[in-house]
A and B are shown apart, each in its own frame.
Chain A
Amino acid sequence: MTIKSHIQQIDKATRAWFRADNILLKEAIEQTVAEGLFTFEDIKFAIRALKEKVYAGQVAEWAERAGLSEEHHQKGKKVLCLHAGNLPMVGFQDALGTILSGANYYGKLSSKDPYLLAAFLDALKNAGVSTNIDYSTDLNSFKDLKADKVLFAGSEQSVEPVKLKLSELNAITDETAFDIRTAKFSIAYITSEDSDVVTDLVEAIFRYGGQGCRSVAVVVSPIKFSNLKCHFQDYIEAFWLKNPPTKKYTSAIEYQFAYNKAIERDQAWLDHFLIQDSEDFPELDSTLHWVQGDENKVKELVQKFGAAVQTVYTAGEKIAGLKTDFLSQAQTPNLWWEPDRKPVI
């Protein structure tokens, strides 16, 4: 099969999978919700966002942008994707990108998201996609794989234990390439209190409970947090009415709240989330750091947080010397968005 027909076949199968009458997708969603893995609202949002991109022709466009052709492809290569499971369909992009490239896909699915991606992969297999598609929630299934490439989200510290485990399984060789995603969060720079901007900001922060590296954990703004606090809380409450959060605060956040009180740092505790006036690294989940500052402060923080920063969003403003994305697209990126600012294909 030529690469061109391979891409067309995947495009067709992917479009079919997102159809509203796909019973298998419906079942996967129901199972995920029934087991309390993700909320229905978050799953619906994720599926809708991906569907819009697929129906806009982005599968073929992605292949074209990546320069896939009969001469340039990854046919015969074995790629092992170790998917994280902190938001619904989080592995979709890596899986689709790997398969589009012509490589043989081996996916270790997260036990936190075992149904949605699996249903999609089954659909591709059933459509007769010619590359190998193999997945499991058990890493031991990849014994003796000898992958050419391993892709996973983690940190420099997690590389060695993962390599050790994969070596024990003979799933990698000395030549296996590792692509480690270390980005943890995104930064938003806002200069306006306009309703559209604040609505987009709330979506960018609170969708998926703030999980995922595209979610905003740091806001830089000339507007002082205390001036926007009440106004901002109204938007957040409106968002939570439509998208009820499931995670309650943790003891670590309770401790952080007490610490902020101790040093008299401005903060707002919203039951499920702690917003604080802080330039520190946003180390805890369910926290947002608000930093009063201008474009130079954004640059300073990008430098300070380094590889942990995925994207800087603005509502349209340009920041000289920094690549930025639109805040409104934080949770609805194009299929070819670049995790860790590196292309998937």
Chain B
Amino acid sequence: MIDPFDPSLTFEEKSLQIFEYQKTNNPVYQRFCQALGVNVVNSVSEIPLLPIQAFKDATLITEHESLNIQDSSLKFESSGTSGMHRSKHYVLDPKLYKESILKGMNHFYNLENYVVLAYTPGYAENPNSSLVWMLNTLIKNDNTGMSRFLPLGDVIVSDFLDEITSSGKKVMLFGAAFGLLDLIEMGSPSLPVNAVILETGGMKTHRREMTKEALHERLATGFNLPKESIHSEYGMTELLSQAYSRGSFWFECVPWMQVSIRNPQNPMEEMSSGEEGLIGVIDLANINSCSFILTGDKGVQGEDGKFQVLGRWNPINLRGCNFLIED
């Protein structure tokens, strides 16, 4: 079995091995590669990225004799209203997701120093949310017992924040954009000066829509923190790894994840730095589903590999009559 976290192999070596493994053992990905005529690849950029929609339209599992769907497997589902066609991500080996979460967070933050507070629905109400499972893992990982899901609809209690500070730990507050804004509007107190806010997306709701810049500004002001302390997580049901932006709008990946920007008209082609396109993700932790994914998000990448998320790709622009200035 290939270890996606193995530091003795390069990202490319592991990617090529996992490509072979998934092309052989994942029937959906196998058919995809066959139809594209891709059999042998020599570099990461030649690996076809499967449209993320496949998590809705098919069951994506890379099975082998010792690993298949069991009672211990997890099934994550994307959020949505009832009757909506949702993404399903089967996680055959929950230990692997746990390892990705803890190693990933520790790559960017020293978890030993933090108390994790999650202003999200709790695990009991949302067992199929990959984000809530991740937060639950982080909370259980904290031996102090101070990490927790915060009750929705209540402000954070000042005394509790003082208790965390007194213990020598720092606050890491997770929440969706609109949830964090609710906390501010309800009158939550300022956070300790060394706290970090990790917003997990959810910019667009039925109540409000705002730019990322405006959101971070509002969060910094509302919680009385410098803007550098407002961080973001780029993750989704279909991925077992996450990317983080820390005080800017540029995301960095964990070492077993890589992002490229693809040409929407030809997803086999990578865009140059600075050009907008579809965000492609290679997440080696997805070894038991599919590691090579073309998302529906629009993004841009810098020379250093960091990337920005520019919202959803709007497919409506691709078809039909369009007056273009350069036309």
Query: Interface residues, chain A, CB within 8 Å of chain B?
Result: 82-86, 90, 108, 110-112, 139, 152-155, 157-158, 161-162, 165, 181-185, 211-213, 217, 250-252, 254-255, 257-259, 261-265, 280-285, 308
- Looking at chain B's contact residues, the main secondary structure is mixed
Q: Chain A nearest CB: distance from B89 CB in Å?
A: 15
Asked if B160 is an interface residue, CB under 8 A from chain A, the answer is no
Complex contacts, B58 vs chain A, CB 8 Å: 262-264
Question: Which of B104-112, B120-128, B216-224, B265-273 is found at the contact surface with chain A?
Answer: B265-273
Q: Quick one: CB contact mask for B44-86 with A, threshold 8 Å, 1 for yes?
A: 0000101101100110000000000000000000000000000
Of the listed stretches B30-38, B137-145, B247-255, chain A binds: B30-38
Q: What residues of B have a CB within 8 angstroms of the CB of A213 in the complex? A: 320-321
B51 contact set on A, CB distance < 8 A: 255, 259
Q: Which of A90, A252, A262 has the most CB of B within 10 A?
A: A262
B314 within 8 Å of A (CB atoms): yes
Check: B28 CB closer than 8 A to any chain A CB: yes
B323–A152 touching, CB < 8 Å: yes
How many angstroms from the CA of A182 to the CA of B48 in the assembled complex? Answer: 33
Select one of A110, A259, A280 contacting B327, CB under 8 A: A110
Q: Which residues of A contact B28 (CB under 8 A)?
A: 262-263
Q: B168 on the interface (CB 8 Å rule)?
A: no
Taking a contact as CB atoms under 8 Å apart, the answer to whether A250 and B321 are in contact is no
The reply to whether B29 and A184 contact each other, CB–CB distance below 8 Å, is no
Q: State which of B34, B268, B315, B321 has its C-beta within 8 Å of the C-beta of A281.
A: B315
Give the chain A neighbours of B320 by CB distance below 8 A.
86, 153, 183-185, 211-213, 285, 308
Are A161 and B321 touching (Cβ within 8 A)? Answer: no
Q: Is the CB of A262 within 8 A of B264?
A: no
Q: How long is the Cα–Cα vector from A281 to B315 in the complex, in angstroms?
A: 8
Q: Does B318 contact A (CB under 8 A)?
A: yes
Rounded to whole Å, the gap between the CB of A265 and the closest CB of chain B is: 7
Determine whether the beta carbon of A165 is less than 8 Å from that of B325: yes
**A112 & B319 in contact (Cβ 8 Å cutoff):** no
Knowing A157-B314, A263-B54, A263-B58, say if A84 contacts B322 (CB, 8 Å): yes
Complex CA distance for A263 and B28, rounded to whole angstroms:
6
